[in-house]
Structure 1
Amino acid sequence: MSLNLDNYRELLVEVAWAASDLLKEYEENPECWQTQTHADLSPVTMADQAVDKLILNRLREACGDQEFGYLTEETYQPGPPLSQPYVWVIDPLDGTKDFIQRTGEYATHIALVHQGRPILAAVAWPGRDGVYLAQVGEGSYRLTRTAPPYRLVVNQERAWEDLEVLTSRSHATPELEAFLQRMPQQARKKMGSIGCKIAAIAEQDADVYFMLPSRTSPKDWDLAGPELILTEAGGKLTRFDQSLLTYNQGDVNQAGGYLASNGQYHQQLCAMLQRA
């Protein structure tokens, strides 16, 4: 089976907007959240579960189960890689802590993966009322409800010492803080969801985000969609040894450190992070 991805772009955009609208409904009604925890003690709300159900129902109805698999944060069960040639990798609510704190920095990630790599992706950012869309080889775009799609291109004109580094609002560690203090780049900005951070780099609002190796690794659904948004805008997302991430490999943990950047100094940043 060889997909014409153009046939799935409209479906993906519709689903992303529907997810965004549902998340905003829940955000406005916190009395309905019933916050619980995953096995790793990360929070989960009824919004996570409701958006997951919405996305799965829409995609399954349109795509079926024969050629398409579905890998989501809320329904994942440990086991071998999904056997279908195409796999939807879904995070219904990335940045649940930010959703609970109502910072506006949470997102929905949806990526279509083939042979371990993302080929079509959307990141919905309700707080900016935008959907970020990318197709392999076709560029990355920001969609709004009121204006034509806007093509995203990273900023690669900043000096080495002027790069703006994004850091997490909720995942700081002493090791990370110590490393940040040693970096020559002193411009910092805290932000929530990984999807929001990657969108910010694609929109030239920042330049660099990285995660040092830790016991709590990001998962496939954290990175697959955002990666394609960034790379199609001219940026890079790799491990510190500059190897590419692969998805739907059975173990959804993306162990080790990784770097997302505008690509301008990616090699130098990777070398600096490897030494750390």
Structure 2
Amino acid sequence: MTELPDDKTILATIEPLALAAGRRIMDVFAAGCPTETKSDDSPVTVADRDAEVIILEGLRSAFPSVPIIAEEEAEAGKCPTSTGDLFFLVDPLDGTREFVNRRTDFTVNIALVRDGVPVLGVVYAPALNTLYAGRPGHAEMVVTDAGHDATERKQIVVRDSGDPITIVASRSHRTAETDAFIARYGSADLVSVGSSLKFCMLAAGSADLYPRFGRTMQWDTAAGDAVLRAAGGTMTMVDGQPFYYGKGRVAGDADFANPHFVAEGRIAKA
């Protein structure tokens, strides 16, 4: 396995890259830009591409031996042939639909996967000036200023679920299966949120459950998943089996597609 610095040092290297990407995204957000459509019918903008360049240049400079799976490079067919047990997953702008529609719940996602588990992650919501970071045993929420520099930090942990529980779901990608799952919790409060902020709400103790029965890619979820696990939450497949990252997790789909999943804080079991 590639030798790297300790987790705290790696996270301290990744965080400024997310902040720098966020600065560029907000410059484009303020100026406006045209939207293109990718082969999977999802939108892409110059903000996605510029943010990815910033992140990839930083990661490749700091960690030249670690493979990187990044959304826009993957779309262009630029993917490592092999990742081994250690690799980065990057989504430079998660929630492009929210970005294009002038909403604020879009994020920058950077995660390090080790042995199939996202052990380090940073999720930055630049329009909200809020960053979430996680490493084993420690998750925190970071407030940033207008220049996208960190100003305040506080540790976060998942909460013990109450009655009713709060369920978060995708604003743009709800499915009938997701709705059927939510219906099991008849009295639950339901919040619709875009991007990986759903994981962060669980990690920060403002929600309890995030079911996803629609298609996602590993770069969509790894950073938020890392923050959630660091805060004491869990991520499983819908049958309760452990959720892992790596090539070929879904038979017949793209190399880095995700199976359906359920992310949880501390849910009281019947």
**TM-score, normalised via structure 2 length:** 0.87
CA deviation profile, 1:141-198 (whole Å, cap 9, x unmatched): 1112364421011111413xx10111211112344335434532331111111x1111
CA distance in 2, matches of 1:52, 1:167: 26
Distance 1:182 1:238, change over 3 A: closer
Distance 1:220 1:179, change over 3 A: closer
Match of 1:209 in 2: 210
Secondary structure of the residue aligned to 1:54 is helix
CA distance in 1, matches of 2:11, 2:178: 38
CA deviation profile, 1:111-161 (whole Å, cap 9, x unmatched): 01122221211001113212111112x3111112364421011111413xx
Match of 1:247 in 2: 245
Displacement after TM superposition at 1:5 (Å): 2.2
CA distance in 2, matches of 1:84, 1:236: 24
Displacement after TM superposition at 1:226 (Å): 0.7
Match of 2:86 in 1: 86
CA RMSD of aligned residues (A): 2.0
List runs of 5+ in structure 2 lacking aligned partners: 145-149, 249-254
Match of 1:129 in 2: 129
CA deviation profile, 1:50-90 (whole Å, cap 9, x unmatched): 111111111112221xx210100101138775345531100
Match of 1:143 in 2: 142
| Number of residue pairs the alignment of both structures matches | 255
List runs of 5+ in structure 1 lacking aligned partners: 269-276
What letter corresponds to residue 220 of structure 1 in structure 2?
Answer: Q
Question: Percent same amino acid at aligned positions?
Answer: 27
Match of 2:100 in 1: 100
Q: Is 2:159 the counterpart of 1:155? A: yes
Match of 1:200 in 2: 201
**TM-score, normalised via structure 1 length:** 0.85
Matches within 5 A, 1:227-246: 227-246=225-244
Q: Is 2:229 the counterpart of 1:226? A: no
CA distance in 1, matches of 2:218, 2:235: 13
CA distance in 2, matches of 1:207, 1:231: 13
